[in-house]
Structure 1
Amino acid sequence: MASTNDLKNGMVLNIDGQLWAVVEFQHVKPGKGPAFVRTKLKNVESGKNVDRTFNAGTKVETATVDRRTMQYLYNDGVSYVFMDTGTFEQTEVAPEIVGDASGFMLENQEAIVATNEGRVLFIELPASVELVVSYTEPGVVGDSATGRTKPATLETGAEIQVPLFIEQGEKIKVDTREGGSYLSRVKG
């Protein structure tokens, strides 16, 4: 149990038998009336976001979430296999839990696997990853100064929008949050 005064981003709460991650929170002390805590919560299993307000100091049940850095090994066609780098124990994760992250994972890449009571809740990738553009149409000379984009297929099979000057075979940095977006070229 914790108090709503102890909330932090990323903390997981057990509310009515469901697990909710704290996305945002704000302590509000109005001029009149008691203080309260306004939160934005994300359901760990369904991904649904809700806004919820608690009275300040209210007790909330926290869930124990074990976050471990694991290495992504391979996809066997049914599930994604991760290995704990400390114990070499392998964990199979269903495609529904991996979700969009699958488009930015390469074999042997590290990711954080969050579990609760032995059940995998979600996969957390680094904020950005470096991937090679496996296919994109050639850009037109002189178009590099504009902010226009074109579709590009990455080595993982994911498709994102990139600037017109990006060419096939180039390594780029991709933001893994919010479905992936182009950040920059990787030099070298």
Structure 2
Amino acid sequence: MATTNDLKNGMVLKIDGQLWSVVEFQHVKPGKGPAFVRTKIKGVLSGKTVSKTFNAGVKVETANVDKRDMQYLYADGEDYVFMDTSDYEQFPVSGSIVGDAANFMVEGQEVIVAMHDGTPLYVELPPSVNLTITYTEPGLQGDRSSAGTKPATLQTGYEIQVPLFVDADTTVKVDTRSGEYLGRVSG
């Protein structure tokens, strides 16, 4: 148990039997009336975001979420198999829990899997990853009809927009939160 004064971004709360992650919070002390805490919370399993207001100092139930360093091994049908890097135990995680993270995961990649009572909740990727472009049309000099970008397919099968000068077999840095091209990786 914690009070609303202890809230932090990323903290997982248990409200009405469901797990909610704190996205943002703000302590408000109006000139008249009691202080309160305005929060934006996201359903860990559902992914929906809602606003909720708590009175200041009220006790809230926190959930014990264990974030483990894991390595993505392979896809097995609808599931993705991860290995805990501390004890080498393997966990299958449903594709619905992995969600959009699958667009940026390659075999052997390190990720964080959040667990609650042995159940995987979500997969957390680093802010950016390096992926290789497997296919893109050649960029034509002077072709600016698409504001200087073209579609490119990554090694995971996900398609992003890249500048015209980027060719196939180029390794690029991609933002895992937005799917945006961040630049070429030299080496």
TM-score, scaled relative to structure 2: 0.95
* Further displaced range: 22-31 or 147-156: 147-156
Q: CA deviation at 1:143?
A: 5.2
Structure 1 residues not aligned, in runs of 5+ = none
Query: What is the match of residue 127 of structure 1?
Result: 127
Q: Corresponding residue for 1:181? A: 180
Q: State whether residues 143 and 165 of structure 1, in contact with CA within 8 Å, keep that contact through their aligned partners in structure 2.
A: no
Is contact 1:134–1:169 with CA below 8 Å preserved after alignment? yes
Name 1:159's counterpart in structure 2.
159
Determine the C-alpha separation between the residues in 2 that align with 1:139 and 1:33. 62
Q: Distance in 1 between matches of 2:56 and 2:23?
A: 18
Fraction of identical pairs, as percent: 68
How far apart are residue 78 of structure 1 and its match?
3.3
**Match of 1:177, SS?**
coil
Letter in structure 2 aligned against 1:94: S
Q: What is the aligned residue count? A: 186
More off after superposition, 157-166 vs 15-24: 157-166
Aligned mates of 1:35, 1:185 — CA distance in 2: 49
Number of the residue aligned with 2:14: 14
Distance 1:63 1:141 in 2: 55
Where 2:54 maps in the other structure, the secondary structure is: strand
Deviations 1:66-88 (A, max 9, x none): 00000000112231100011101
Partner of 1:49: 49
Q: In structure 2, what is the equivalent of residue 118 of structure 1? A: 118
Alignment of 1:1-188 (within 5 A): 1-142=1-142, 147-178=147-178, 180-188=179-187
Q: Please give the secondary structure, in 1, of the residue aligned with 2:150.
A: strand
One-letter code of the match for 1:129? V
- Two-structure CA RMSD over aligned residues (Å): 1.3
Question: Are the structure 2 counterparts of residues 63 and 139 from structure 1 closer, same or farther at C-alpha, using a change threshold of 3 Å?
Answer: same
Stretches of structure 2 that go unaligned for 5 or more consecutive residues are none
* Pairwise CA distance, 1:142: 4.0
